[in-house]
Amino acid sequence: MPGGQPAGDPSGKQPEIKPRLKNCERAIGLAERYLNVPAIISPGDMSSAELDELSCITYLSYFMKYNGPGYRATLERVRQMVPDMAVHDFEDTWKDGFLLCALVQAAGGKLDGTVDVTPSTHAQRVSNIRKALKAASRLGVSSLVSADDIADPLSDHLGVMALSAALCSFVTPQNDEQITTECLQSQQVNLDLAFSEGNEVDIDELDVVVIGPSGKAYEESEIQLQKSRTINGAVLSIIPVEVGLHKEILTNSFGYRFEFSIDRFNPFFGKVKS
């Protein structure tokens, strides 16, 4: 090649392989440790540009299989959105369309006409589902499966689960309970974290963002952040430098929030006195 540059890269720079491999190693390790997803693909293969589609899909299918981590997480989101409904699965519970109509309404959708609460025929069930799908489409959510497919007693969970996940994205789970504490300015305050049994977190992988009342996100050195492991979890220590309400947000090192790893995962609020 002219100038000795590798083909396909006019800058002559080699692709960064190591960060990709490291990210894949961590992701596959976390999935196996916390979500029981078997590492059927190696980090080297996952990070490779030659990764074949079938291998990738096969691995990802473990997240979405019946009663897998994606299945359970989406089911919990649905339960939060329709707390008065009995939501047991993504199969039989949805066949009459009543639950789907309730979920669409919880996401902000408007149904045309009334919903048949006790549909006794296949046609009535399909009618309910069509009303839900039409209202969902007005929200910008399209179903991968038809109303007839959803009503089919033999259909699997994937289509309904995908539709439910899309509808759940319209609402962010809220929790009115806040963990609060008070301290004096320039005084150390300790925040205790309790981990669920079997879901311990490596505190070195736990990122902490502290936002002061002015909206500034502080560097760890500015607030003298310390993370210490305890028998039941961990302790975070900071020394606030501003007066007012502070917010502390916990994420893992990728920036994703792992609700399964901490019993009470709300952001921590602390009021600093002068």
One domain, residues 85 and 162: yes
> Model-level pTM?
0.55
Same domain as 100, residue 28? no
Residue 181, in any domain of the structure: no
Do residues 64 and 70 lie in contact, with contact meaning Cβ atoms separated by under 8 Å? Answer: yes
Are both 90 and 162 inside the same structural domain? Answer: yes
Look at residue 271 and tell me if it is in a domain. Answer: no
Query: Which parts of the chain sit beneath pLDDT 70?
Result: 1-17, 171-186, 193-203, 205, 232, 246, 248-274
Does residue 146 fall inside a structural domain?
yes
For residue 250, the model assigns a pLDDT of 62
Note whether residue 143 is domain-resident: yes
CATH number, domain of 237, equals 2.60.40.10
The predicted structure's pLDDT at residue 263: 27
> Is 123 inside any structural domain?
yes
Q: Check whether residue 146 and residue 106 sit in a common domain.
A: yes
The reported pLDDT for the residue numbered 221 is: 84
pLDDT confidence of residue 57:
92
| pLDDT recorded at residue 169 | 82
Among residues 31, 64, 97, which one ends one of the domains? 64
- For residue 9, tell me if it sits in a domain: no
Do 99 and 39 share a domain, yes or no? no
Per-residue confidence (pLDDT) for residue 201, from 0 to 100: 60
> Does 45 lie in the same domain as 98?
no
Q: Say whether both 45 and 77 belong to one domain.
A: no
The domain boundary residue, chosen from 113, 138, 169: 169
The total of other beta-carbon atoms located within 10 Å of residue 130's CB is 17
- For residue 6, is it within any domain? no
Give the count of domains, the chain. Answer: 3
pLDDT of residue 54: 92
Residues 6 or more apart whose Cβ sits within 8 Å of residue 58? 40, 41
Q: E strand or H helix at 247, and its extent?
A: strand 244-252
Quote the domain boundaries for residue 221. 189-262
Q: In terms of domains, do 74 and 158 share one?
A: yes
Asked whether residue 30 is domain-assigned, the answer is yes
Half-sphere exposure of 126 (CA within 13 A, CB side): 10
Residues 21 and 60 in one domain: yes
User: Pick from 71, 132, 70: which is nearest to 107 by CA?
Assistant: 132
pLDDT for residue 253:
41
Q: How far apart are CA 66 and CA 70, in angstroms?
A: 9
Residue 86: partners with Cβ closer than 8 Å, 6 or more residues away: 93
